[in-house]
Structure 1
C-alpha cells in the first residue's frame, strides 16, 4: 500500500506517487502468453534491467527475463529486484520492427520501448496506475546478487522447522517457521507480528527481510522464535482483504496456543514482538491472554489511526520537499475523505462520494499536488477500494490508548528518531502515558537515535531510503531487544 495512507512498511498495490512500489501479483504461476512477432526474437532474448526513478527520489530496479521458444514465440517474466518480488508473468509480449511491448496484467503495468542499433539497449516507458515513467533497459549477463549482508547464511547454529497450525475460530490455517536453540530447553519464546499490509513471515520489503534477521539474532541468544505468513499469503489460508487488526490478533492468539503445545517451549516465558501495526496487535493480544508474559513494540502507535495518517503524511511530504501549501491541501483532502469513510458505512455510497470528492479536488490540483496526494484520475477505483476495506475502517477510528492502560505485563516500546511513518515523540509519549495511567510500572520507552521506521540507520528517515540502505536492522536495536527480553525471561525463570 501507499505509505502515505497506511503505517505499514510494505506496499501492496501499484506504482503510486512517493514510495512507488509494485505489488505482489495475484498469482506467480506462468500463464498463457500472447505474442505478435515479426522480428527476430533472438534479438531481445536474455536479461534486461533498468531503474524506475519515481517521485521522491526512489529508484526501483526492474528486470525482464525474455526467452524465445522453439516456435519463435516469446516468453517473459518480470522481477522487481529491490522489492523482492520475482517471477511475475508477462502475459502479452509484442515485438515488431524493433518495438517491444510487455504487458503485465496482474499489476496493470505496461512497458513499451525500442531496441537501439547497438542491440544492448531498449529505450522506453513504464506505464502503471495512470503514471508514466521513463525506463531504459540494458542487456545484462546475470541477475544481480540480491542478498543483504545481514541475512543469515545456512547452516544455522540452531534448529529450523516449518510449522502449520489453525486459528479454529476463524477457520484459518497459519504457516510459519519455528527456530529453536540447540541448547537444552525449555526455551523462552516470542511470536513476531508483522506490520500492516499482506506480508510473509520474513516481513519482506524492498529486498530486506527484517523478521528473518531478527529471528536469527534472537535464536542465537537462546530464544525460540515463531514467525508466520499473514493470512492469505505464502502457506497461510484465509481472506486477508476482509480482515481487521482485531482478526490478526486472533491469529496471534492461535500462535501462542501452538507454542504452548510444544515441549521445547517454556509456556511461562512466551512474549510478543510487534512491528508497526504489529505494535497495535500485541497489546490487544496481551489483554486477552494471561499467557503473554511480555511485549515489545517496535514503532507501535499510541494514537488513533487518523492522527497517525496526518502526522505521517506531513512528515513524508516535507522530507520530499513539498511546499506548505501543498501539504495543507493534501491534509484538507485527507480530512474530507476520512469524514466520508467514517460517516457512510455503505461502501457503494461511500465509494461514489469519494469518487466525486477526489475528481473535484484532483481537477484543481497542480502536478506537484497530485504527486503528494497519491491520487490520479486514471485509476480512482483501484485507489478508492483500499480506503473502504474493513481494515482501513477499523484503523482510522481505533485508539490504542484504552487497550494500553489494561496491559499489565512488562513492555518495551522503541521507535527510531527518524521514523516518519510512526513519529516517535508523539507516539512514545502516548504509549508511556497510557501505561502509567493503567498502573503498569514495568515498562521501558526508548527513542533510538538515527533510526527510521524499519530501524535502519538512515540519513533522513524517508521511505525513499529504505531500499538504498544495505543495513536491514541496526545492531543497536537488535541488542536492545535481545538484552531486554533476556533480562525479563531470566527474572521469570527465577
Structure 2
C-alpha cells in the first residue's frame, strides 16, 4: 500500500518494490489565467489567544491594515530575472511529473539545476538557459534525449511547452521565495474562520517541509508556497501551483507569534481567521531495546490531563513533520505523539529491515512514555495507523492492554503477499495492459513470493525472472531486484524478505477488542476494498468486538481524496478530501474519548 512520496495520499506505503520512473511522466494541460491583484482594506477585531505556557487571558486586539492579495510577484520575477527557486511540473495529459528548477545569474549568464523529486534525482545540471525579454528556453540532457522547455515569464510564473524526442507536453513553474523554515513552526496550528469552519496548517516532510493546509468545511487541502515571510499561495490542486487559487497572509504580533490569518479563495472576498486551540510542543527521548527513539509530543495548552493519540508511521522511515494531523487532533482535545527518529548503535536507521513486531514494540515504548506523564490520561491512549501502518497498529493493540482505541485509515485485511498482487493489477490496468500481460506479471510475482516464503525453488524463480526481464510489463511485477540477488540468500536476507511477506492481519484482528474505527475508500487502488472490508468485519466479529465501526467513503482513493478513478495518475489533481473522513474521525472521537479536563 504505497504511493509516491510527493503525492497527496498522505504517508501511504505499498508493500512491494516501486517501479522506477523514467525522465518523463505525464498529465493534463493546465490552462493558466492572468493572476489578479486585489487590494483590500480590512478593519478586523481579533480574539487572540496567547500561545505559551503562561497564557493567562484572551486579549482583544484591534487591527487596521492593508492586505495585498492576488499573487504577490517576487522581486526577481517582477524584474524579469530567473534567479531563485521555481517549483512546478510537466503536464503530460494523464499524469503530472513534479520538477524543481534553481537558477543563478552571474557575469557568464544564467546557470541552473533540475530536480526530479519522484525519482530522487536532484541537482541535475542544465545544459543551457536563455532569457530574452520574457521568453525562456531551458535545455537539459536526460536519459531519453535532450529535454527542451520553452515558455513565457509572466505573472510570477513560467508557462510553456516541453518536448523530449517524440514526447510533447506543457509545463508550469511558479517562483517560490526561500524563507527560514523555522517560520513554518510559528504558523502551525488551527485558525477559526467561522464557528463551524477551521483551517488547520502544519509543515509536512512529504512536501519538503512546506506548510500544508486543510479546510475543515470543504475538505480542500494543498501546499502553501511562500512569496514573503508572511504571504503564501496555493494552486488549483495539490501538486499544481498555478494558477493561484488560494492566498493566505499570516498576522503576527510584536513577538513574531502568529495570531491569525487572512484567507482568500478564488475571486471571493478575504476572510479573517484567528488562531485558536493553542498548544505546546515537547521533544522526548525513549528507548526500546537497543534502539534510541526520539519523538514529538504536541499538547493542548489548556490544563490536562488529556487523552492522546499516537501516529504510527505509515512508511519505512520516520517523519519529523506530520502536516495538519497534530493540529486536527489537538483541536479535538487530544495530545498528539509521533516518533521521528530511530538510532541503533549511534546510527540512524529506518524500518526497511525491521519486522512488524519490532515496529509495534517501538510504538508501545511511546505509549508507555505517555502513560507515565501526569498531563496524559493513561487509560485513553489510542493509535492512528494508515495504509501499511494499519497492519502495525492492531498488532500493537494485541501486544498491550494499554491501547484504548484504534483509528485505521485505508487498512487491508488481506495477507501482504495477496495485497501486492492487487496493487500490481491496479497499476497495470491504469497503464492499459492486456489481461494476458497482467496475468503473467501476477504469476511471476506470486512465484517469487512463494519462493521466499517456502525457501525453495530459488534457481527456478531466478531463471523465470531472467527470462521475463525484456517484457514490457516486467517493471510492474516488482521483481527486478531479484536479478542481482544471490540465491539462495543468507539467513539475515531471508528473514528480512520473509518477515513482511508472511504477515496475515486476520489472526491479529480477531484478537482486537478495543474500540476500532475503520475508514476505507471505494476507489482505492492499493487496497481491494470490496474484498477486504468483509474480511475485516468477520475478524472483528470473531474477536467479539462490540465497538467497531467500518465505513467506506464513496469516490475516495487510497488517500481518501475525492477521485474519479482512484488511480495514482489523478493524485496531482486531487484538491479535496472526502470530507466525511475528517468529520467521521471527529464525531467518533467525541463518542469514545473523554477530552474534558
| Alignment TM-score > 0.5, same fold | yes
CA distance in 1, matches of 2:302, 2:342: 32
The Cα of 1:50 is off from its aligned counterpart by 6.4
Superposed counterparts of 1:377-388, under 5 Å:
381=484
What are structure 1's unaligned runs of at least 5 residues?
22-41, 104-108, 127-131, 203-210
2:333 to 212, 217, 222: 222
CA distance in 2, matches of 1:50, 1:215: 27
Q: What residue number does 1:179 align with?
A: 298
- Per-residue CA deviations over 1:20-75 (Å, capped at 9, x if unaligned) read 79xxxxxxxxxxxxxxxxxxxx9986556663467x93212202203256788956
CA distance in 2, matches of 1:124, 1:257: 56
For the 8 Å contact 1:298–1:415, the answer to whether it is kept is yes
For the 8 Å contact 1:191–1:273, the answer to whether it is kept is yes
CA distance in 1, matches of 2:138, 2:480: 28
For the 8 Å contact 1:113–1:125, the answer to whether it is kept is yes
For the 8 Å contact 2:127–2:140, the answer to whether it is kept is yes
Structure with higher Rg: it is: 2
1:285 to 365, 377, 396: 396
Q: What residue number does 1:304 align with?
A: 415
- Per-residue CA deviations over 1:345-388 (Å, capped at 9, x if unaligned) read 8xxx96x876543231123x2x3x346446779x9659x99xx6
Q: What residue number does 1:362 align with?
A: 469
Q: What residue number does 1:489 align with?
A: 593
Q: What residue number does 2:351 align with?
A: 240
CA distance in 2, matches of 1:265, 1:139: 46
- Helix, strand or coil: the match of 1:292? coil
For the 8 Å contact 2:318–2:350, the answer to whether it is kept is no
Worse overlay, 242-251 or 414-423:
242-251
CA distance in 2, matches of 1:167, 1:184: 28
Superposed counterparts of 1:73-472, under 5 Å:
76=113, 78=115, 80=117, 89-90=122-123, 100-101=139-140, 112-113=146-147, 125=164, 141-142=175-176, 148-150=212-214, 157-176=277-296, 178-202=297-321, 211-229=322-340, 231=342, 237-344=348-455, 356-363=463-470, 365=471, 367=472, 369-370=473-474, 372-373=476-477, 381=484, 392-471=497-576
For the 8 Å contact 2:448–2:479, the answer to whether it is kept is no
CA distance in 2, matches of 1:164, 1:133: 51
Change in Cα spacing, 1:294 to 1:137, as seen in structure 2 (3 Å) is closer
CA distance in 2, matches of 1:96, 1:488: 59
- Helix, strand or coil: the match of 2:560? coil
Worse overlay, 94-103 or 282-291:
94-103
2:101 to 64, 85, 103: 64
1:477 to 555, 558, 581: 581
For the 8 Å contact 1:404–1:431, the answer to whether it is kept is yes
The Cα of 1:398 is off from its aligned counterpart by 0.7
CA distance in 1, matches of 2:167, 2:292: 40
CA distance in 1, matches of 2:281, 2:373: 12
Worse overlay, 71-80 or 420-429:
71-80
The Cα of 1:116 is off from its aligned counterpart by 6.6
For the 8 Å contact 1:49–1:137, the answer to whether it is kept is no
- What is the total number of aligned residue pairs between the two structures? 433
- Per-residue CA deviations over 1:427-466 (Å, capped at 9, x if unaligned) read 2221221122122222122212221111112111112222
CA distance in 2, matches of 1:19, 1:174: 38
The Cα of 1:173 is off from its aligned counterpart by 2.1
The Cα of 1:8 is off from its aligned counterpart by 7.0
Worse overlay, 392-401 or 12-21:
12-21
Change in Cα spacing, 1:288 to 1:433, as seen in structure 2 (3 Å) is same
Report the TM-score when normalising by structure 1: 0.72
- Per-residue CA deviations over 1:211-233 (Å, capped at 9, x if unaligned) read 53333222112111113336479
CA distance in 2, matches of 1:143, 1:122: 24
Q: What residue number does 1:106 align with?
A: none
Q: Which has the higher strand share?
A: 2
For the 8 Å contact 2:384–2:393, the answer to whether it is kept is yes
CA distance in 1, matches of 2:582, 2:173: 40
The Cα of 1:183 is off from its aligned counterpart by 3.0
CA distance in 2, matches of 1:139, 1:410: 47
For the 8 Å contact 2:307–2:381, the answer to whether it is kept is yes
